[in-house]
Amino acid sequence: YHSHPGTERQVRFPSVPRALPCPNATVQLSILSFNVWCCGGTSLLRTYECMHALNADVVCLQEASCGMVKDAAHTLGLFYSEGAAILSRYPISTLPRRSPKQGGGKGGDIVAIHVPVETGRFVRVLVGNCHLVHHPYGPYVLRDQRR
């Protein structure tokens, strides 16, 4: 899932899915942006079940710790980027840059997803994950305007 240069730890990688059709040099991917709210809270298993049921090609998590991102990837059999909090059915490369937020599972970084296509090549898709600010929180603004 994630390589650790200089260690002797064996790392098991998920299998790369079959190549996608690439008409007109485009690929179609499903993307899920999911705020798991404090690492899934008391319903972590249900959070994983939801991600599995939605079967997205790429999952961008917000409010997930690096440990939760790694655990989710292992549970769901996906590739991942801890700092960017992104899971993918396809291999991921972290870009050679530092996020101003330093990742940390909150989202806010960009990765490259490598999607195999029928031509025998890979299409590199850049995916950005961000965690929007919580204040002002829209539902509360609407609630307070009604008072």
List, as one string, the DSSP characters of 28-91.
Answer: ---EEEEE-TTTTTT-HHHHHHHHHHHT-SEEEEES--HHHHHHHHHHHT-EEETTTTEEESS-
Cα–Cα distance, 34 to 60 (Å, whole number): 6
Return the pLDDT at 27: 83
Predicted structure pTM score: 0.74
Distance of CA 43 to CAs 2, 29, 58, 71, 72, Å?
26, 27, 21, 14, 13
Q: What pLDDT band is residue 90 in, cutting at 50, 70 and 90?
A: very high
Q: What pLDDT band is residue 99 in, cutting at 50, 70 and 90?
A: low
Return the pLDDT at 4: 43
Radius of gyration of the chain (CA): 17
Q: What pLDDT band is residue 129 in, cutting at 50, 70 and 90?
A: confident
pLDDT: is 26 or 53 the higher one? 53
Of 104, 115, 107, nearest in space to 133 by CA: 107
Indicate the range of 10-14, 88-92, 130-134 predicted with least confidence.
Answer: 10-14
